[in-house]
Structure 1
Amino acid sequence: MSWKFWQKTKEDKPRKKKTRSREWLDAIVFAVVAATIIRVFFIEAYTIPTGSMERSLLIGDFLFVSKVNYGARIPMTPVAFPFAHHTMPLTGTKAYWDGVQWKYRRLPGLSDIKRNDVVVFNYPQGDTVALEQQDIDYYQMVRSEGWKEINTRYTVVSRPVDKRENYIKRCIGIAGDTVSMKAGLVSVNGKPEKLKPTGQFSYEVTFKTPDVNPAVFEDIGFNISNDINSVDPTTCYFNGSELMMDQVRKLDFVKSVKELSKPEGQREADIFPFDKNRNWNVDNFGPIVIPKKGWTVKLDSVNMPLYERSIRIYEGNKLEKSGNGWLINGKPADTYTFKMDYYWMMGDNRHNSLDSRYWGFVPEDHIVGKALFIWMSFDSNAKFFHKIRWSRLLRGIH
């Protein structure tokens, strides 16, 4: 038999047809691979679970988050179950294998992070988690009850950077900025930055009469159960935007509207950097310089409470106290030069937001992407036919 005859016979032989189950399997594999590539490198859906960004973003908003704007982050934990973040939905077990860890790398982006961008990022203090109390910050529990108590009572695990909880906040300060806050008003580089019109603050409202119809406030946009707390028949505490409170002031039965903030000098133990020598609180703190790549900071008792975690945890150095000085990776050092840019993130709902005031800086390797627009929004408290917030669909985020 000649070679050409054998080759022709082989080519003419009909290929075995794929079974229906094989066709379905190939289609599913292709869909999973394609969706994963889109999710990792281009765009990802995200849900607003809490009210920390109200009223800019509402609970039940579904967003698209762009990975392209700031440059897609190459997966740092590449071996993971598709579409699961850090926990498998049914079993509750880990959805990733941290035996393989890649260094932080990011593709070129369309722009840098700008002030007032709404950004999705991995929770910086999510490196350690008590599994039975995942809604509570592990470090906050340790400060409150002690390391031994928490680690004995709960199952404590560590998570890689890209497997920490996703948060969404507004970027108040970028690398190199100096941020401070006084009486609830943020200043960036010495310039006061008013809260966005959609942001919320706390107010004390006094009425002229106890006979007040709550429906009036619902018409303005308040949620009676969430936004208004009654103290007595003539006094209520409101949580609302400046525009909403302007309408409250115009009501003929309202006697006064007073903006509420913590007094300056009244220290809160859970406010970053948890330093007993700084009498800072949720409305009064700073000034704080946000670390910038290439910026050198002096290692002293004033700066170390602010920058110790960034040097040790985020930038991966072995940091030890040695007499009156410090050792970095075993060598004496009195200064440190940062390797990454950092950011200061805050929620628009200023008195109901767990943000940089409680855990400090967000490193650049924790940045996930930029929030683009709302593609769907559900109000779980509304009646069946009104659950979709039609006015918010396809609405851009500013």
Structure 2
Amino acid sequence: MNWKFWQKENKDTKPKKKKSRSREWVDAILFAVIAATIIRVFFIEAYTIPTGSMERSLLIGDFLFVSKVNYGPRVPMTPVAFPFAHHTMPLTGTKAYWDGVQWKYRRLPGLSEIKRNDVVVFNYPQGDTVALEIQDVDYYKMVRSEGWDAINKHYTVVSRPVDKRENYIKRCIGIAGDIISMKDGLVSVNGKPEKLKSTGQMTYAVTFKTADINFSVFEDLGFNISEDINQSSPNTYSFTGTEPMMDKVSKLDFVQSVKEVTQPEGYQEKDVFPFDPKRNWNADNFGPILIPKKGMTVQLDSVSMPLYERSIRIYEGNKLEKAGTGWLINGKPATSYTFKMDYYWMMGDNRHNSLDSRYWGFVPEDHIVGKALFIWMSYNTNGSFFNKIRWNRLLRGIN
């Protein structure tokens, strides 16, 4: 008895082998990667603004923190992926994920629902198919312009899972169940006109009384002369600016007139959603459009199908076929369809320089990434090193 007890004591008190320095480093790095991934997926993530579609609410070079908690963290749909890479490895250019394992869309409970005017980060809805050589150009737009054969024969075309599509940031203009329309550049939601935010931009035609203009005046008003002002005729210039900025321009003694520029009603812009030749819609005049809502049923006919065909087929995963004068859904005749998800209408604040829902339609709820919270850093590529940091934008909230 004593001998066995002595054996146990000897075994328990035997000194443990100390970890090597390299093993300690590996354990520390592994822990840091796992912790950072959990924070990034379920709590908060950093993003940067690459384009001017949200100017002047958000500027190129703004670095944001985006909350996953507000709308509820989305459980990864493509769980096997390289940490901190989105869809492409930075050096090799190869896929940063393996789509052999795909999980169904699930979202944990959040603090709130998406509200109108929220600034939202989401996966680009039409990013399901990409031509790798020219990823900055919308694949479906190229197909409409040049034909399917021309694009698929000359480019490497790939498909991407929902959570590996490009990240976009826009303002939510309409939520599920809303009716959206636009006339002369002014959006209406459920019949109520909604003016552009004071930080949003439109295009204006400014006519001067004289050709002798000191353009430094406009720099003092916040304009970037090389980007925001372009000459269209001897005394008339095209300005891109906010309503408050243009009010100041109109009060200058050498300005004859300031007029907002929009496309005429009835003019058809072929790349505007839903790409229906029977609808004479453009980026400044369209609608009304009913945004799909979970549980909402629509009749399937020649009027509704251009609006909802992609949502039924691509976003909700049904096999949709035309059969004579009617439709087949998953092989069965259907005269109506009931939506399984909520959808949203997103638009950029820089209204005439934004690729948004006017050009690709609805954003499904499973594409929602999170809510933009605040700017933690803002960096201007022009000027000296010290002046490159936009100090007045640091830690600024996003409205």
- The DSSP-based 3-state class of the residue aligned with 1:37 is helix
The aligned amino acid for 2:154 is: R
Count of matched residue positions in the alignment of Structure 1 and Structure 2: 398
Please state how far the C-alpha of 1:3 moved relative to its aligned partner: 2.5
Structure 2 CA distance for aligned equivalents of residues 10 and 332 of structure 1: 74
Partner of 2:155: 154
1:331 matched to 2:328? The reply is no
Aligned residues: percent identity?
A: 81
Distance in 1, matches of 2:92 and 2:357, equals 33
Q: Does residue 119 of structure 1 match 2:120?
A: yes
Paired residues for 1:79-94 under 5 Å: 79-94=80-95
The answer to whether 1:298 aligns with 2:295 is no
* TM-score w.r.t. length of structure 1: 0.99
Q: Distance in 2 between matches of 1:271 and 1:238?
A: 23
Please say which of residues 246-255 and 269-278 is displaced more in the overlay.
246-255
- Distance in 2 of aligned mates of 1:156 and 1:358: 21
Aligned to 1:175: 176
Supply the AA of the counterpart residue of 2:159: S
Alignment of 1:1-398 (within 5 A): 2-398=3-399
What SS does structure 2 have at the residue aligned with 1:7?
helix
Q: What is the Cα deviation at residue 13 of structure 1?
A: 1.3
Q: Residue type of the partner of 1:299?
A: L
d(CA) in 2 for partners of 1:227 and 1:15? 69
1:307-362 CA-to-partner distances (Å, cap 9, x unmatched) read: 00000000000000001000000000000000000000000000000000000000
Paired letter, 1:319 = L
> How far 1:4 sits from its partner (Å)?
1.8
Offset from partner CA, 1:45-67 (integer Å, 9 cap, x none): 00000000000000000000000
Amino acid at match of 2:27: D
Q: Partner of 1:2: helix, strand, or coil?
A: helix
Partners of 2:218 and 2:357 in 1: CA distance: 32
Deviation at 1:279, TM superposition (A): 0.2
Shift of 1:383: 2.4
Q: Shift of the alpha carbon at 1:14?
A: 1.1
Unaligned runs of 5+ in 1: none
1:230 Cα deviation (Å)?
Answer: 1.4
Amino acid at match of 1:165: E
Per-residue deviation, 1:382: 2.5
Q: Secondary structure at the match of 1:312?
A: helix
Deviation at 1:2, TM superposition (A): 2.8
Q: Distance in 2 between matches of 1:333 and 1:232?
A: 55
User: Hey, what's the Cα distance between the residues in 1 that align with 2:4 and 2:46?
Assistant: 57
In 1, the alpha carbon distance for the partners of 2:19 and 2:121 equals 43
3-state SS in 1 of match to 2:145: helix
Q: Deviations over 1:7-41 (max 9, x none)?
A: 21112111111111111111100000000000000
Deviates more, 1:18-27 or 1:274-283: 18-27
CA distance in structure 1 between the aligned counterparts of 2:89 and 2:176, rounded to whole angstroms: 35
Q: Which whole-Å CA distance do the structure 1 matches of 2:323 and 2:61 have between them?
A: 50
> How big is the shift at 1:99?
0.1
Rounded Cα–Cα distance in structure 2 between residues aligned with 1:46 and 1:154: 29
Instruction: Measure, in 2, the Cα distance between the counterparts of 1:255 and 1:21.
Output: 73
Residue 233 of structure 1 deviates from its aligned partner by: 3.9
Instruction: Specify the SS of the correspondent of 2:308.
Output: helix
Compute the displacement of 1:235 (Å).
1.1
Moved more, 186-195 or 8-17: 8-17
How far residue 231 of structure 1 moved from its aligned partner, in angstroms, is 2.3
**Deviation for aligned residue 1:107:** 0.1
SS in structure 2 of the partner of residue 8 of structure 1: helix
Moved over 6 A (4+): none
CA distance in 1, matches of 2:97, 2:4: 52
- Distance, in Å, in 1 between the alignment partners of 2:28 and 2:197 is 46
